[in-house]
Amino acid sequence: MDAENVQSLVSSMTKKKGGFRACIFVLALITLENIGFVANMSSLVLYFHFVMQFGLSASANTLTNFLGSTFLLTIFGGFISDTYLNRLYTCLSFGILEVLGLLLLFVQADSNKLQPDPCDKSSCVRGGKAVMLYCTIFLLAVGAGGVKGSVAALGADQFDQKDEKEAKALASYFNSYQFSVTIGSIIGVTIVVWVAMNKGWHWGFLISLITTSIGMVVLALGKPFYRLPSQSTSPLVKISQVIVAAIRNRNVPLPENPSELYETDDKDAISHTSQFRLLDKAASVRGGRAASVREERAPDPWKVCTVTQVEEVKILIRMLPIILSTIIMNTCMAQLQTYSVLQGYFMNTHLGSFKVPSASIPVIPLIFMSLLLPVYEFYFVPLARKITGHPTGITQLQRVGIGLVLAIISMAIAGVVEIKRRHKAIEDPLHPISLFWLSFQYGVFGVADMFTVIGLMEFFYREAPKWMRSLSTSFALLSLSLGYFLSTAFVNLVNTVTKKVTPSKQGWLEAPDLNHNKLELFYWFLAILSLLNFANYLFWASWYKYKSTAQDAGTHGRVGRGSSAVAAED
């Protein structure tokens, strides 16, 4: 069998794999894993406060630090899956750690001997109990971070962007991804949270343990159907090569014609762009001989890089302001999982004769999302596609922008609702306002999250180089991580500053009684900050050049594979 027939056979076998059939296993894991993860996101602040005996601010900060660490570690998971393990094995390896963390969480919640006694400090957990708690949090953060850092890209890998039909299906995959997250989250914040708060915390954690374990088994069963791209050079190495080559060639003059920069005869090559011209030094050849290179051996990539490799690094640099511009929105999200849950605990949680757990209130935006995602996918996208001609209806950055605007509105509403809640609680403590007043801020933010998260994940996957697609999809979660950490910093900063100017000498969020805090001012502070951040985002979004646009921006020549003369240059 000649080489052409072998290549044809391999191509045929590859096409039999992938697609939505393979994605079913990935989407099943996403649904099952999020049942437990999102339930814990909603209820752990209450578990820390009432079971592990943390103060209000300490409970909120412990949760945001845990979630911030989890989403920060998605970068680690993405790096591992891009470089050392494929995305399937990365998911399964880190999934084992997540299961172990849930097992420890169940054990500690099940035994009173492993829980601290009440005290008058911000944190009462000490000694071995503290070691167990923080080891549990560590395992959960590392495990969940690794899974989330690789699973989205594993599903996206099942579609070939060079195929027109599969390229369109890729956008549908990201909508399906978010829909699966939403369905799992709805189950988590209703059934699991109700069980945890009414039947016992350990039963809720046990359900999370079981669903996550089943999800990992289902993911493993899908192995025969997956397309698993071969491993590439480490993203850090690729980026370092461009930087080192640019420094080495700093004295080489840049050619006036970009076609004189070094490039291979690659059909996937990216056209040269004029931004960050300093990095073009990495593709500069001494003596301007790139166009005449016809030798067999490629140059040392630490001395001369291709235009495509340089442009890929430029794309990553252009992405950075986009990541940073979405952090404030995720700081707002952190409040809905901490202070808004605490608000709900002191409100009327009855729906008729049924008592709704306050930690279940996030189900409202999830229901919005579960209804709006199919509407968006099957009605809005086709209509917008006819108007704009864009394959996904509107661009990914336009979706993110819509989400940022809605986040501003959500925080403004949250401040108004808190004033009403506190006024009623002080005036008539026996008849607090209904928990469902929180649905306004949650509902608006749910729609914001739908636009932003999907837009960011698709944006980073499509724009990033092939050699770091897991890492790039983690960028959306990196923004989430930084938002949680920033929430902790803002809470501490606001308390430090405001206690110096308030008559009570107590910060806005320091009082042990929520009714004596100024939570609405904190919400409005975040709304104003979000408005300023949106103006910043508009600047960077208009400045950004999509990779497809960059490819049409100009042309560059195609030269031979390399040169021994070039390789010999310092």
Question: pLDDT tens digit string along 437-496?
Answer: 888 888 888 888 888 888 888 888 888 777 777 777 777 778 888 888 888 888 888 888
Q: Once rounded to an integer, what is the mean pLDDT over residues 68-89? A: 84
Question: Do residues 129 and 107 lie in contact, with contact meaning Cβ atoms separated by under 8 Å?
Answer: no
Q: Once rounded to an integer, what is the mean pLDDT over residues 145-169? A: 81
Q: What element of type H or E holds 355?
A: strand 354-355
Domain boundary among 210, 231, 252: 231
The H-assigned helical ranges of 73-163 are: 74-83, 87-110, 127-156
User: How far apart are the C-alpha atoms of 422 and 432, rounded to whole Å?
Assistant: 9
The H-assigned helical ranges of 337-395 are: 339-345, 363-375, 381-388
Residue 431 lies in a domain: yes
User: How far apart are the C-alpha atoms of 187 and 473, rounded to whole Å?
Assistant: 25
560 confidence band (pLDDT: 50, 70, 90): very low
- Expressed in angstroms, the distance from the first to the final Cα of the chain is 44
User: How far apart are the C-alpha atoms of 36 and 99, rounded to whole Å?
Assistant: 11
User: How far apart are the C-alpha atoms of 32 and 203, rounded to whole Å?
Assistant: 16
Total of domains in the chain? 3
Task: Return the SS3 of 161.
Answer: coil
Q: Once rounded to an integer, what is the mean pLDDT over residues 387-402? A: 84
242-259 in b/e form (b: 16+ CB < 10 A) is beebbebbeebeebeebb
Structure tokens, 90: 């990365």
User: How far apart are the C-alpha atoms of 155 and 91, rounded to whole Å?
Assistant: 11
Identify whether residues 36 and 177 lie together within a single domain: yes
Identify whether residues 89 and 182 lie together within a single domain: yes
> 3-state SS of 406-450?
HHHHHHHHHHHHHHHHHHHHHHCCCCCCEHHHHHHHHHHHHHHHH
Q: Once rounded to an integer, what is the mean pLDDT over residues 98-110? A: 93
Question: Do residues 452 and 400 lie in contact, with contact meaning Cβ atoms separated by under 8 Å?
Answer: yes
Mean pLDDT of the chain: 81
Does the structure show a pLDDT above 70 at 27?
A: yes
Residue 2 lies in a domain: no
Question: Do residues 361 and 438 lie in contact, with contact meaning Cβ atoms separated by under 8 Å?
Answer: yes
Report the range out of 166-170, 181-185, 300-304 with the highest average pLDDT: 181-185
Identify whether residues 418 and 507 lie together within a single domain: yes
Identify whether residues 414 and 297 lie together within a single domain: no
Identify whether residues 271 and 362 lie together within a single domain: no
Higher pLDDT, 167 or 549: 167
Identify whether residues 264 and 217 lie together within a single domain: no
Residue 469 belongs to domain with CATH number: 1.20.1250.20
Q: Once rounded to an integer, what is the mean pLDDT over residues 19-34? A: 91
Residue 1 lies in a domain: no
Res 537: pLDDT: 94
Res 285: pLDDT: 79
Res 534: pLDDT: 96
Identify whether residues 176 and 272 lie together within a single domain: no
Residue 6 lies in a domain: no
User: How far apart are the C-alpha atoms of 186 and 181, rounded to whole Å?
Assistant: 9
Dihedral sign for Cα 339, 475, 25, 70, please. negative
Q: What element of type H or E holds 351?
A: strand 350-351
Domain boundary among 211, 231, 251: 231
Domain boundary among 231, 249, 275: 231
- Rounded (10°) CA dihedral 151, 153, 156, 162: -160
Higher pLDDT, 170 or 182: 182
Res 569: pLDDT: 38
User: How far apart are the C-alpha atoms of 500 and 518, rounded to whole Å?
Assistant: 14
Res 77: pLDDT: 84
Identify whether residues 197 and 252 lie together within a single domain: no
Least confident of 91-105, 284-298, 345-359: 284-298
User: Hey, what amino acid is at 186?
Assistant: I
Res 15: pLDDT: 55
233 confidence band (pLDDT: 50, 70, 90): low
Higher pLDDT, 174 or 224: 224
User: How far apart are the C-alpha atoms of 92 and 282, rounded to whole Å?
Assistant: 38
Distances (CA, A) of 345 to 45, 73, 117, 195, 319: 11, 31, 22, 16, 40
Which residue, 530, 524, 534, is CA-closest to 486? 530
Res 413: pLDDT: 94
Identify whether residues 300 and 331 lie together within a single domain: no
Task: Give 309-328 pLDDT, tens digit per residue.
Answer: 888 888 888 888 998 999 99
Does the structure show a pLDDT above 70 at 421?
A: yes
Question: What backbone phi and psi angles, to 5 degrees, belong to 160?
Answer: -95, 115
Does the structure show a pLDDT above 80 at 568?
A: no
Residue 424 lies in a domain: yes
Q: Once rounded to an integer, what is the mean pLDDT over residues 192-214? A: 92
User: Hey, what amino acid is at 361?
Assistant: I
Question: Do residues 63 and 180 lie in contact, with contact meaning Cβ atoms separated by under 8 Å?
Answer: no
Q: Once rounded to an integer, what is the mean pLDDT over residues 184-213? A: 91
- 233 alpha-carbon distance from chain centroid: 24
> Would you mind telling me the total number of residues written for the chain in this entry?
570
82 confidence band (pLDDT: 50, 70, 90): confident
Residue 11 lies in a domain: no
Residue 296 structural domain = 235-313+555-568
Residue 10 lies in a domain: no
Q: What is the CA radius of gyration of the chain?
A: 26
Higher pLDDT, 358 or 81: 81
Query: How many distinct helices (H) and strands (E) make up the chain?
Result: 21, 2
* Other beta carbons less than 10 A from residue 175's beta carbon: 19
Identify whether residues 471 and 518 lie together within a single domain: yes
Higher pLDDT, 128 or 166: 128
Residue 133 lies in a domain: yes
- 507 alpha-carbon distance from chain centroid: 32
- 87 alpha-carbon distance from chain centroid: 16
Task: Return the SS3 of 357.
Answer: coil
- Rounded (10°) CA dihedral 186, 191, 194, 198: -170
Res 10: pLDDT: 41
Does the structure show a pLDDT above 50 at 240?
A: yes
Which residue, 41, 52, 56, 49, is CA-closest to 514? 56
Higher pLDDT, 286 or 543: 543
User: How far apart are the C-alpha atoms of 156 and 162, rounded to whole Å?
Assistant: 13
Identify whether residues 268 and 126 lie together within a single domain: no
Distances (CA, A) of 21 to 159, 228, 358: 11, 14, 38
Identify whether residues 466 and 516 lie together within a single domain: yes
Least confident of 121-135, 253-267, 285-299, 327-341: 285-299
